[in-house]
């Protein structure tokens, strides 16, 4: 009982003292991991990935990936400075690389390391489509989603330990039932919705950043319509996925695009590339 109470107390303490304000939403987010802890490891892993990947250099597509990334980061800095978050990106070391891979995918690592696979360029189709992808990944990095996922995983592990301690005096079958129920329940009921929430948040923040940078956010739902058409209907049900369904994203992006345009006008962005 003492161990269980100690674990519970530690979990509550971590949740109370380890929050960081999201500068784009104003919300307090769970975050146990500092930039000093996370970024060096992220940078090392990114470099290792690039050493093992086929990085595309000195092509128009590779230059466009870098140019759009830099434009959107500049827009993010304008937004952050205007809203009282000067210096927020001081620890970030932005890098944008195009990698030859047939996957229709892109990803961002903590601290501003972004990869776009060549396989997603056909889906992007145009500059605004690629800007949608780039802005989404940059938003993940700026919103500290990597650190939040690590923090949530730590709490999930603490909950598993506390539960295991609580049922340690019960029968073996009871312990097995708890382990299975906790694993499934925490994954479907907590971790997957947490991940989907991050994806939607990155979509919404990304729309604002691309609009401030001068790219048309109304093209974002068109990108996802193409993604939906090319998915072959093979996506899992939304509640079992780390990402919102294509239909959900299309609906959200359509609703949020006018908000992004209105926000961009505050920064003098009234026409789009």
Known catalytic residues are 137
Packing angle of the helix pair 60-82, 127-142 (nearest 10 deg): 50
Bridge partners of 150, per DSSP, are: none
What contacts 256, CB < 8 A, 6 or more positions away?
203, 204, 207, 217
Take residue 215 and report the two structure tokens written for it: 């790219």
Beta strands per DSSP E along the chain: 19-21, 28-30, 55-56, 95-99, 106-109, 113-117
Phi, psi of 115 (to 5 degrees): -125, 135
What contacts 109, CB < 8 A, 6 or more positions away?
42, 45, 46, 141, 146
Give the separation between CA 195 and CA 241, rounded to whole angstroms. Answer: 9
Check: CB of residue 105 under 8 Å from CB of residue 123.
Answer: no
Check: CB of residue 137 under 8 Å from CB of residue 160.
Answer: no
Check: CB of residue 169 under 8 Å from CB of residue 175.
Answer: no
How many degrees, rounded to 5, is the angle at CA 74 between CA 211 and CA 36? 120
State the DSSP H helix or E strand holding residue 77, giving kind and residue range, or none if neither: helix 60-82
């Amino acid at each position: 009982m003492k161990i269980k109470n100690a674990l519970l107390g530690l979990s509550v303490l971590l949740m109370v003292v380890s929050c960081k304000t999201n500068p784009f939403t104003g919300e307090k987010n769970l975050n146990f991991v500092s930039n000093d802890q996370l970024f060096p490891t992220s940078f090392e892993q990114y470099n290792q990935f690039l050493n093992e990947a086929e990085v595309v250099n000195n092509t128009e597509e590779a230059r466009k990936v870098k140019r759009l990334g830099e434009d959107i980061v500049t827009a993010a800095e304008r937004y952050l400075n205007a809203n009282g978050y000067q210096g927020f990106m001081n620890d970030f070391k932005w890098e944008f690389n195009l990698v030859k891979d047939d996957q229709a995918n892109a990803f961002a690592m903590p601290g501003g390391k972004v990869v776009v696979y060549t396989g997603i360029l056909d889906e992007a189709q145009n500059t605004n489509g690629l800007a949608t992808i780039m802005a989404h990944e940059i938003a993940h990095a700026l919103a500290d989603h990597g650190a939040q996922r690590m923090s949530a995983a730590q709490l999930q592990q603490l909950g598993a330990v506390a539960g295991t301690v609580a049922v340690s005096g019960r029968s073996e079958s009871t312990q097995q039932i708890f382990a299975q129920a906790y694993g499934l329940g925490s994954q479907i009921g907590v971790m997957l919705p947490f991940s989907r929430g991050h994806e939607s948040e990155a979509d919404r923040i990304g729309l604002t950043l691309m609009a401030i940078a001068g790219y048309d956010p109304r093209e974002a739902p068109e990108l996802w319509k193409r993604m939906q058409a090319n998915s072959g209907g093979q996506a899992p049900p939304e509640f079992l996925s780390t990402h919102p369904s294509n239909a959900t994203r299309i609906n959200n992006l359509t609703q949020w695009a006018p908000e992004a345009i209105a926000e961009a006008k505050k920064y003098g962005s009234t026409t789009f590339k």
